[in-house]
Structure 1
Amino acid sequence: MARRLRIVTASTLALLLIATLALGGCTTTAEQGGATIGDEEAAKDASLQTVKERGEIIVGLAPFYAPFESTNEQTKEIEGFDIDLMNAIVEKMGVKATYRPAEWQALLGGLEKGDYDVIFSAMSKKEAAEANVEFSDVYYLLPDVIIVAKGNPKGITSKDDLKDKIVGVQLGSGSEQLADELNPEIGFKGLKKYKLTQDAMNDLKAGRIDAVIAGYTFALEQAKVDPSFEVSSEPLESAELVGVFRKGSTSLVEAFNKALAEVKADGTYDALVKKWLTIQQQ
């Protein structure tokens, strides 16, 4: 520190004061929407460089939502549409993907803490809208539907038929948000919120609730593996599924979007949709 001490004259102080005021003015302008903060953030953005130097992108996900991501009971490996799509994207980026499973409700907090670089777990813009994050381009449109017991004993064929019914949804999901919006309009008898959609399905099977609101592909997968369920309605609302990144990860998001576009252009994306998401209902 001793080498940095200088004798400061009155004229020097004046110059320093002018410079400080000028810099303060720039900061204020940027905070009000000017380009300065954007330039500063871009200069500090090392998100892509960090991933490149590490040679991997760390992916947070909740592997409880087949066919997007789930744990194979035989191999114990996480598999699904999101896994295959992410692997194809990161191959284009020249890195590998490392997956870190977490509870669904903990994903956004883990991203904020820096536990992973991206959430890629059938998460919609709506589900992450209140978090301080950035989104990739939309990679899939997932409609929400009503799931009922086989034979539809309560005669539920539209959202209006949910009046005076007990409805189940997954806590923290887009389906929960949709149900919260529909309830005042329609008037459910009850709205039960579960840690996992599968828990709601179990209660539906046991007759403790009348219907479940969930994603269409998940619903068809459940109907395929368990004939106790069926989809009873046309889509209620479509969710825009995206990769979710920490705020300021602009360079990483741009590289991700470029790779996603390449995967769509070369036919890989369509092949994965056919493999995982094109399900014939039994």
Structure 2
Amino acid sequence: MLTPVELRDIIDLLRAAARQVHPKAAAGICVVMWLATYGTAWAGRPLNADDASILPEGACQLETWLRPSRHLQQVVLQPACNPWGGIEWGASLTRQRATDEPSQSLLGLQAKTVFKEVEAGTWGVGGTFGLTRSMEGGGPGTTRTGTLIFSVSPSQPLVLHVNAGVVQAHSRHAVANWGAAVEFGFNERWTLIAETYGERHGRPARQIGARTWVRPESLQLDATLGHEHLNGRRETFFTLGLAWVWEVWARP
């Protein structure tokens, strides 16, 4: 059986070979590896691990963030709505560029539901199913993701999240991934976060961050600082994001 180090070496060789054949083939491999690591549910900013809650019925939100780093630059736009209750429907548009690769645009769709919503002093369970596809030709095809979400809130300011998911790219074997996060709200405006996430047999990524309400329950700013391993290289990154929540349909 291959060790993780040997597997990463093989991936690097495949990417180098693909680049000689066609640059879009190398970009496709890069997209698959990125989705395998980040293919958990589309979490509320600034987390990658999702929580067992959805938007209230009739509400929508728009999340956007950027990630400037040495080997991977990203800009993400992610709207979501819960028009009828029960299921939160979301979309994601990602523009990214990895070192020595052409830029890639990814379009994703996701449905999220909760079987029991987490509240202070209780636990909750939910799940997501999503599809992601490169908008350029020569990409990896459609990638399917599924995630089981468990959250528990021992007290009002503390919430813990655990995700277990799977990613299956076109014509490739499914890859298991996971995420674990903690949130601590030390007042009504500020929340601190810490999390770790990754894929099976891969090295975990870690990040810490904070979010704050600029306008309570409506406009939020967030930032994170973390590190991960991309193509065998350790990379430090930061993200800066914004989330806007509003009510579209009046609830009875």
Normalising by structure 1, we get a TM-score of 0.29
Report which structure shows greater RCO (CA 8 Å, sep ≥6): 1
Larger Rg computed on CA atoms: 1
Query: Normalized per residue, which structure has more strand?
Result: 2
Query: Normalized per residue, which structure has more helix?
Result: 1
